[in-house]
Structure 1
Amino acid sequence: MNKVIPMPQKPWQPSGADKVKSLLIVFAAFVLAGASVELTGFNGKLGFFFSLFISLLILNFSFHYFKRGTAAAKDALLQVLAVMAIVITLIPIVSIVATVFSKGYKGLHWGILTKDMALASVNDPIASGGLLHALVGTILMVGGALIISFPIGVLTALYLTEIRGSLTRPIKFLVQAMSGVPSIVAGLFILSSLVYPVTKELSGLMGSLALTILMIPTIARTAEEMLRLIPNELREAGVALGGTQWRTVAGVVLPAAKSGLVTAIILGVARIIGETAPILLVSGGGDSLNLNPTEGAMGSLPFYIWKAFLTSGTPEALARAWAGMLVLLSFIFILFGMARYISGRKVG
């Protein structure tokens, strides 16, 4: 005799009839919003969305109040508020992405990633020149900042989570304060403390040092949170086997937190890859490919975009600027996607 396994019940999921009623409520809200725009002073898109929001609140609350009572009406009210909050959050994001894509694709061509601007200007035809120098410069400066920031950030996180000495509170306060430092302040600091008195030359290395100031707190705070997720049982097991504190940290804690540390790296890179102010001040922003970060001006994607926008405003210059933004935005989306994927994996 075959046993019939009952399907699991999911009472929280709306039924087909409930979905139809919800669609009718949304349709009625659109009708009321359109009528209010025509009959009242709520004109334009902003007035329509405001009327739609109020109509959804009133209709949802009234429907659930008369059908199920006060508790269900309050729950429906909170659902509408949550959905509207999500929509309000997504509107600027979608608008930015759509605008950059719709204007940026016009500046794309086959040689955009293989040519620099040494023999071309931003006002020349789109097919001449590219942003190879800016892309390579961005990679070199961000890579240099990462080489300096990662060990400092991880060691800071280890001190805050593993050692917890007398300097824990001052260091934590300093890291939090550095997170709020304006990027232009970091650029001015490097300009006044290193460029003018020491090197007397703008270079990619100076850009890396300015970006390091902005990157360290991001890596330190993210690594600290990831290290706190490691169970104390792993630390205790390492000590019980005769390991010293630092052998336990190096052999147990850090390997267990490797995915979290990779996430810290990616978030740190995403934090600084689009910074413009410090790059404008200390990198020089060259138009030709420069592979030596210690000598000569070095281009970057933010500088490329800024320079293209500052020209005479020709269609070619604007197309180059939007194309640079599209490339930069694509890099940022890829980095955040990688961070979400890696952080979603099980720690250890």
Structure 2
Amino acid sequence: MSETKVSRSVPKPSKPWQPSAAERAQSLSVGVLAALASVGLVALTPMKGVLPTVIFFGIFAVLIGFVKGTFTRGSTTGKNNAIGILLGLGTCVALIPIASILQTTVSRGYKGIHTGLFTEDMSMNTAIDPITEGGLLHALLGSLIMVSIALVIAMPLGILTAIYLTEIKGRFSRPVRFLVQAMSGVPSIVAGLFIMSAIIYPITKSFNGLMGALALSILMIPTIARTAEEVLLLIPNDLREAGVALGGTQWRTVAMVVVPAARSGLITAMILGIARVIGETAPILLVSGGGDAVNVNPVEGPMGSLPFYIWKSFFFGTEEATTRGWAGLLVLLVFVLILFTMARTLSRRKVRR
């Protein structure tokens, strides 16, 4: 009896499609032809400047891409090329304001960076003093303290709200979800006015960092709750069923299975909540007092913050004060970009898992 050998070959995974060198050259030719046509049309007409050139470039790029695709591969390819070019142009238009903000902030803010910026406060300096004197240490510490207190208040409330909406699904789920969505659209100054009218005037009668943290927590709760709700909805029901099958109660399953599985997403919700309130100015102006000296006690005396430091610097209007304001804005922008980068990194890590 002869033995038959069966060869087992493992199929190679297919690689994603990549354009060839010829296709890349054709795409580049579309852009070159559109640029030449737009520059020539602007030169032959009374319309001058960058804006008409950019508008004509977009029009010619769409037309040339459509004609090229139609004559080479049919009308479907032509329409696909035109839509792809429109999407690319729309993305570029959307990125222009962001690039402009970054360029303006960096070009004007770096002039206010000096060695004492992060080690000194403004208690012994005025707006007309040289830019090398004073700093924003009080603003950095104040923002960190107020945001930390707000996070301690908002994080458990936001996560518990998300758990109630996704796991409990009680009779009040619909009004609670509506309230959370409504709070997301509330102007930030309303939070400051609420703290002022409900706590400061009738109870404490003092402006301090704790009042600012309470106002920020009101703005942070809906962001954390909505993000955490979306994260918990992504957890497979198989994990919940496995926890119940092992004899766990609903709360034990949520605490020991669901929440640990969504840990990275919940951390992302926390970071997005911080990024949401770190730059809020209106509630801080109303309730924190906005001091110029370092104050690490949130319940005694006014407390400065980065938004208040920026607002006050621009309010004085002198050249030195304006430079300080741009420097504070640059520091705040870098901090927010770091937070969003951390959130994106954690979300990608969660998807890979």
Q: What does 1:323-334 correspond to in 2, within 5 Å?
A: 323-334=327-338
In 2, Cα distance between equivalents of 1:233 and 1:339? 26
Pick aligned residue for 2:318 from 314, 319, 322: 314
* 1:148 aligned partner: 153
* 1:114 aligned partner: 119
Deviation at 1:116, TM superposition (A): 0.4
Deviation at 1:46, TM superposition (A): 2.0
Deviation at 1:86, TM superposition (A): 1.0
* 1:179 aligned partner: 184
Pick aligned residue for 1:191 from 184, 192, 196: 196
In 2, Cα distance between equivalents of 1:170 and 1:129? 50
- Whether 1:223 aligns to 2:220 is no
TM-score relative to the length of structure 1: 0.95
Q: Which stretch of structure 1 is more off in the superposition, 327-336 or 237-246?
A: 237-246
Q: 1:250 to 1:7 in 2, by over 3 A?
A: closer
* 2:70 aligned partner: 65
* 1:53 aligned partner: 58
SS of residue matched to 1:125: coil
2:143 is matched by which residue type in structure 1? Answer: T
1:237 is matched by which residue type in structure 2? Answer: A
In 2, Cα distance between equivalents of 1:320 and 1:260? 36
Deviation at 1:242, TM superposition (A): 1.1
Deviations 1:105-139 (A, max 9, x none): 00000111110000011221111100000000000
Pick aligned residue for 2:341 from 337, 340, 343: 337
* 1:160 aligned partner: 165
In 2, Cα distance between equivalents of 1:13 and 1:274? 42
Deviation at 1:7, TM superposition (A): 8.8
In 2, Cα distance between equivalents of 1:273 and 1:229? 28
Deviations 1:230-249 (A, max 9, x none): 11111111111111111111
In 2, Cα distance between equivalents of 1:278 and 1:198? 18
Q: 1:7 to 1:147 in 2, by over 3 A?
A: closer
* 1:209 aligned partner: 214
Deviation at 1:345, TM superposition (A): 1.2
Q: 1:8 to 1:247 in 2, by over 3 A?
A: closer
The 4+ residue runs of structure 1 with deviation greater than 6 A are 5-11
TM-score relative to the length of structure 2: 0.94
1:121 is matched by which residue type in structure 2? Answer: T
Pick aligned residue for 1:20 from 25, 46, 50: 25
In 1, Cα distance between equivalents of 2:287 and 2:148? 16
SS of residue matched to 2:350: coil
How many residues are matched?
A: 344
Deviation at 1:11, TM superposition (A): 8.4
SS of residue matched to 1:345: helix
- Whether 1:299 aligns to 2:290 is no
* 1:128 aligned partner: 133
Deviations 1:45-91 (A, max 9, x none): 22221111111111111111112110110010011011011101111
* 1:101 aligned partner: 106
- Whether 1:260 aligns to 2:265 is yes
Q: What does 1:263-274 correspond to in 2, within 5 Å?
A: 263-274=268-279
Query: What are structure 1's unaligned runs of at least 5 residues?
Result: none
Deviation at 1:33, TM superposition (A): 1.4
Q: CA RMSD in A?
A: 1.8
Q: Which stretch of structure 1 is more off in the superposition, 129-138 or 16-25?
A: 16-25
1:154 is matched by which residue type in structure 2? Answer: I
Is residue 265–residue 350 contact of structure 2 (8 Å, CA) maintained in 1? no
Q: Which stretch of structure 1 is more off in the superposition, 84-93 or 32-41?
A: 32-41
Pick aligned residue for 2:175 from 166, 170, 179: 170
Deviation at 1:147, TM superposition (A): 0.5
Q: Which stretch of structure 1 is more off in the superposition, 178-187 or 194-203?
A: 194-203
Deviations 1:215-264 (A, max 9, x none): 00000001111111111111111111111111111111111111011000
Deviations 1:321-341 (A, max 9, x none): 110000000000000000001
In 1, Cα distance between equivalents of 2:144 and 2:13? 52
Deviation at 1:15, TM superposition (A): 1.6
In 2, Cα distance between equivalents of 1:103 and 1:78? 38
In 2, Cα distance between equivalents of 1:20 and 1:241? 60
In 1, Cα distance between equivalents of 2:163 and 2:264? 16
In 1, Cα distance between equivalents of 2:319 and 2:174? 53
The percentage of aligned residue pairs carrying the same residue is 59
